[in-house]
A and B are shown apart, each in its own frame.
Chain A
Amino acid sequence: MRKRSAYIKNIAITLGILCLSFAIGLLLQTIFNVQATIPTVFVFAVFLVSLLTDGYVYGIIAAFIITIIVNYAFTVPYFKINFTIPENIFSALIMVSIALVTSTLTAKIKYQDTIRVESEKERMRANLLRAISHDLRTPLTTIYGSSSAILENYDSFSEEQKIQMIQGIKEDSEWLVHMVENLLSITKIDSGNVKIIKTPIALDELIDSVLQKFKKRYPYQKIDLDIPDNVVVIPMDPLLIEQVIINILENSVQHAKGMTRLSLRVFTMANLAIFEISDNGCGIDKERIDKLFSEYSVSDEHQADSKRSNAGIGLSVCATIIKAHGGEIYAGNVKNGGTVIRFSLHMEETDDE
């Protein structure tokens, strides 16, 4: 399908430019009666076709057609095909070479563009991989260490010690589960041009599901909730959006020091549903705000010892997911302390009941 539409587009461009150049040529010849500039118009036309279409073919075809047209209509003898005149053969050759050279150049530029994008992606991926492998080591150490310690010294540990270690195993594997979910989402979106499959989801069901999951992880964290009363339906991949909201909420819980209030607000504006998660904690450093979503950045300063967190990849996962949905995401500090993260999604355009 896509191939076909590309063909049609290329052919349309070629024909359009040819017709236009032919019209201009005729205009110049009949009205202004200038001969000398006509060939330059056609040279320019061949150049344009080669530049704007994909591959070599269209440029070369255009060059041939133009040579014939020029030969037929614009050179002596008028309205006759005559290739015996060496001048005509010469101009035909020049046309074809222009087409070839231009096409080669544009193809090269396009190729370099894709290489640049690819290498950018590659760099991101390498960063991500580095950040993750680093992050994975700590929980794995706990799990591996604690479990083998228990197995090997079962009798010499007290009951309490064993429970403590098993608790550690559980917590760290929960962290791993969460991390793997995030990774899956990224690869789901990053791998090629997989389009997100959107299904219409009722907002209150989404929020309910988010809160249920959040409650399981953080039973004591209260969330102030403010969502519209009417039924709001938003097309989305529900698992991914759910993850975005949970990641942001979790980010507040883990990083907003001194937070006493965490709130989740959703409101609609024109055709957008806007989600706003805010806390009254310590806010985010100015320098970090800009980079917050852009990289798989794990803040290096407190890497070594601090509590691990998903913040590094968590928020960039959010950005990736929201962008893939065609929405926007924003992070900022609130005046009287605290962070606000806002993202928007397009709603259904259709009827309201």
Chain B
Amino acid sequence: MNNNKYKILVVEDEDNICKFISALLEANGYQAIIAKTCLMAQSMFSSYIPDLIILDLGLPDMDGMNFLNYVRETSLTPIIVLSARSDESDKVNALDSGANDYVTKPFSTAELLARVRSSLRNSRHSADDGHFPGRKFLLGGLVIDYDARRVFLQNVEVKLTQTEYNIVALLSEHCGKVMTYSSIIKTIWGHPDGGSIKKLQVNMANIRKKLRDKPGGSNYIINELGVGYRMNNEESD
């Protein structure tokens, strides 16, 4: 098989879903590996060393979270979780345990592919992470200069407060990944208290205004309602 294709491990027990996901991935230039149980996934994971994992949480032998934790013990391979719609707490749980992203079932193929691209890009980003001097974040008209702690929009500086900058920088460092409310609060303010969600919401509202994000537009920061925020890393489509 072609070696420079990205290898994607699909952990999903439904036959039909497996079929279309793997067909879709292969048609888009990825190599798909299928595992139908948690145990199978574990052995596939160590033998193939995939670049990305798509994980359904409801598996016949064990909860998918087991596999998630198993992978996270040893590796940072990006994981996209497939979740049923109903529960935000499941998503938050998976994200806080180290999943990079989630896609709600039923999903469109465009959505899944976008998340796959974004997660792969994100993992390449973090591979050369660690704040090189002069490192900058570029996205559309948005530039973040990490050394100077300054943000520019279409070459005009955006005046952010300390906290606002910290939040924007945090989201940009994890660009493409959903950051849950609690993980942002923990990083920015340390330990959360009763008012911290509200504080975060107010700060986010100001940031959006300053970045000229509009409701319904193609924005730099995407709301994952009830879960968290994500810095958009798809070129606007």
Q: Is B161 an interface residue (CB 8 A)?
A: no
Q: Is B205 an interface residue (CB 8 A)?
A: yes
Known contacts A200-B198, A239-B225, A242-B225, A208 near B204 by CB under 8 Å: no
Interface string of A222-239 (1 = CB under 8 A from B): 010101000101000011
Q: Is A134 an interface residue (CB 8 A)?
A: no
Known contacts A200-B197, A200-B198, A227-B215, A206 near B205 by CB under 8 Å: no
Partner of A184, one of B86, B88, B219: B86
A233 to chain B, nearest CB (A): 6
A188, B86: Cα distance in complex, Å = 9
Assess the B216–A202 pair: CB atoms within 8 A. no
Closest Cβ neighbor of B111 among chain A residues: A216
Known contacts A209-B225, A242-B225, A225 near B215 by CB under 8 Å: yes
Q: Is B226 an interface residue (CB 8 A)?
A: yes
Assess the B201–A200 pair: CB atoms within 8 A. yes
Partner of B226, one of A177, A201, A210, A212: A201
Q: Is A152 an interface residue (CB 8 A)?
A: no
A239, B213: Cα distance in complex, Å = 22
* Majority SS at the chain A contact face: helix
Partner of A206, one of B197, B204, B225: B225
Hey, which chain B residues are within 8 Å of A204, CB to CB? 205, 208, 215
Assess the A209–B201 pair: CB atoms within 8 A. no
Known contacts A208-B216, A215-B216, A202 near B226 by CB under 8 Å: no
Partner of A207, one of B197, B202, B204, B216: B216
B147 to chain A, nearest CB (A): 31
Hey, which chain A residues are within 8 Å of B219, CB to CB? 208
Interface string of B63-96 (1 = CB under 8 A from A): 0000000000000000000000110100000000
A242, B205: Cα distance in complex, Å = 19
Q: Is B223 an interface residue (CB 8 A)?
A: yes
Closest Cβ neighbor of B206 among chain A residues: A231
Q: Is B106 an interface residue (CB 8 A)?
A: yes
Hey, which chain B residues are within 8 Å of A202, CB to CB? 201, 204-205
**In the complex, chain B residues 197-237 whose Cβ is within 8 Å of any chain A Cβ:** 197-198, 201-202, 204-205, 208, 213, 215-216, 219, 222-223, 225-226
B5 to chain A, nearest CB (A): 27
Known contacts A205-B225, A206-B225, A212 near B216 by CB under 8 Å: yes
Hey, which chain A residues are within 8 Å of B223, CB to CB? 205, 208-209
Assess the A231–B202 pair: CB atoms within 8 A. yes
Hey, which chain B residues are within 8 Å of A211, CB to CB? 215-216
Hey, which chain A residues are within 8 Å of B88, CB to CB? 238-239
> Could you show 5 A-B contacts with beta carbons less than 8 Å apart?
A207-B215, A207-B216, A208-B219, A208-B223, A215-B216
Interface residues of B (CB under 8 A from A): 85-86, 88, 106, 197-198, 201-202, 204-205, 208, 213, 215-216, 219, 222-223, 225-226
A206-B225, A211-B216, A214-B216 given; 10 more Cβ-contact pairs under 8 Å: A184-B86, A200-B197, A205-B225, A207-B215, A208-B219, A212-B222, A231-B202, A238-B225, A239-B88, A353-B198
